[in-house]
Every structure is written in C-alpha cells, then in structure tokens.
Chain A
C-alpha cells in the first residue's frame, strides 16, 4: 500500500492509501505499485485508474479523467498535480457526449491556429471524459 494524493486547482480530489495506480505519461502508461522507485514525470491526457484494495477486481477501480499534469513518486508517496481531474461520478455520459460533439463542431469551425488548438484541446478532454463515462457504464452493467 502507498499514499496517493491527487491535487487539482480546484482542490484535492483524492487523498488516501491505495494499492495500485495506472496513469498515462508522455512515454506511455505506467503502473505504480508499492515501493516504486523515485520518479518525476509528466502526465498526458488520459484516464487514471486507481485500485484501492489489492484484492479488488478491475470492476471496482476508481477512474479519473485528466488532461495533463506532473507526478512525483517518492518514498511510497505518489503526488499527482493536474489541471483538472474529473471523478467518474461527476461525469454524466449524455452531457459528456454533448460536450464532445460541441467541441468537434468548434474544431470544424475554427478559423485560426489559436482557436483550432483550443478546440483540439476541448475535443481531447471530452474524449477522455467519455471514455471514463463508458468505463463506468460497463461496470454497472456487469
């Protein structure tokens, strides 16, 4: 077990002992377990999945959607600093779908480089949120 703290600008989103965290980094997905070596790395867009109890199966994991940040692993502490982390419960699939479509539309209408970049960011973000929403749905159906 190790300590996992997830901090976004709007507050601490998660702060407790966990057994496994899988997160997306620039170099690909990494899994962090107890006694991981000290590491500082950059998190990219993606889904963070947290297994609290080692005996929990995949269905009981907790998911967060994130759009980039920094992680620091040190002495069985995992600190994750992100812009935004949406807990699965705060994501409504229908809303996420609507937001995704809106972002797509924004992207297709973008005229200059700046608004295109912005729209692309929105699309990426909403895509991740959708992914988390569908993970959650799958779990409830099983």
Chain B
C-alpha cells in the first residue's frame, strides 16, 4: 500500500493541476464568447461581398478573368489555420489528420503542395513533411485580429497565385457548428467561383457603370471576397479553438476531481489501516504485559 505521505502529496499536486485547468477552462469560455460575437459582427461584410459578387456574375465571361480562370492544377497552396498553443483537445490533431489525408491524395495525383501556416502548430507539422514547401508562418494573430493582420496573408496568397507559382488556393479551417461540434473543412479561395451560396437573388440584368473600369472593379471585389472568406475562416477557427479548449479543460478538471476522490478514499483506507494496526500493537503489548 502506498504510504500516507505519498498519497497526500499526490492529492495536493492534483488539486494544483485542477486549479489550473479550471482557470484555463473559464478563460477559454470567455474567449469563445467574444470570438463568437466577433465572428457574428463580420457577417455583414461577407454577405455584402457575396451579393456584389453575385451581381458581377451577371456580366458574364467572368471565367476569362484571371481570378476565375481554371488552370490545370500542378501546385496547390493550402492556408492552414491552427492554434499557437496546445492543450486544446483534438483541435490541432484534427487539422493534422485532415491535412495528411489531403497530402496523400495530392501525392497520388503528383500535385506539389505549398503551405502557409497560421499558428505555430500547423507550422511544426508542415515543417516535418518533406514534400511540403512551407512558404510562411503567421503566428501573431491575437484573439481579435484586424484587417491589418489579415492583409499580409491575403497579399502573399494573391501574389503566389498571380505569379502562377500555385494554381489553386484552399483554406483549411475548423468550422464552428456548435459549442460541442466543430469540424475541419476546406474552402477554395482561388480560382474564385462566382456562384456564392446562400444567395438566390438574380437581379443582375440591369446596367451598372464601372469606374475606373470593369477589370479593376472585378479584381478589387474578388480580393474583398477572398478576404472575407479568409477572415471568416480565421474567426470560426478561433471560436472552435476556444470551445475545444474549454471542453478539454472541463474534462481535465472532471478527471482531476475523480482522481482526488479515488486517492482520498485510498488515503482514508491507509490511515484507518494504520490506526487499526497501532491499536492491535498496543492491545498486543497489553496482553503481553499481563502474561
């Protein structure tokens, strides 16, 4: 039987851990709330960008513009959104698994892969794989990223695409379905597609003027749309990360509680055994003196 001192030490240490996980859980919960609010606020931007795109698709021949043109895919660029820190349950490993599956498929089709990592975890992972060319790592996004934080990522992905270094750009992020359900998903950012979901309004036929010209307007709006996509995926990933971290920490806290109960029981048994033995020794001694 483990000694009483060891058990006491163990219980104290678990209590310390429980305090930490509990605190992390509360922090993650409040961060998740904020991330969700933040994501909701940006929705009007995405909606407006999408409706503009919808109107543009009425001009036709959109397929001939560089952002929309389908090229044979020789190189793909993945923007992988992960977290900077661990302790977030399966958040990062889900992303890794998803990416591995994609890479396997790309290897079969002999497509080269480049990766832009958002968050340290994705960078660590991409660096370990030989066939992947890690273009850049962005690990300075905080809980409420601003347009200025997103711009460099957007610029570099557009640059890679326009210089034909890559023929397709996908964003891999964790979709926030509900507080307990998050799923890793992929959306295609480039070549852009003109049919945006969620909009059935087809009032596109009427005439509009474009200034300075159609090309720059289309390029600008497409950039906005990709920006909105990227932005939305980052915010959803953030919300998912915090909610998964919260769940992971909640489980850890519950586990700690169970462990403490188990050890306390064991401690009590050990203490009781000690007392019983002492009593037996004393009464044994008394009996011996009598004799």
Contact = CB atoms under 8 A, between A and B. Distances in A.
Interface stretch (A5-13, A56-64, A88-96, A132-140): A5-13
Interface SS of chain B: helix, strand, loop or mixed? helix
Interface string B50-78: 00100110000000000000000000000
B124 to A, nearest CB: 24
B151 interface: yes
Interface in A22-56: 25-27, 37-42
Contact-residue size bin, chain B (C-beta under 8 Å from the other chain) = 20 to 34
Nearest to B210: A40
A70 B220 contact: yes
Interface in A89-118: 118
B290 interface: no
A70 B224 contact: yes
A38 B206 contact: yes
Contact of A39 (B41, B55, B151, B211): B211
Contacts of A69: 224
Contacts of A7: 44-45, 48
Interface-centre pick from A26, A42, A121 (highest chain B CB count, 10 A): A42
Contacts of B146: 9-10, 84
Contacts of B209: 37-40
A81 B208 contact: no
Given A25-B212, A81-B45, A83-B148, 10 more contacts: A10-B146, A11-B44, A38-B207, A38-B209, A40-B55, A40-B208, A72-B208, A74-B208, A83-B151, A84-B147
3 pairs of A and B residues whose beta carbons are closest in the complex: A11-B41, A83-B147, A41-B211
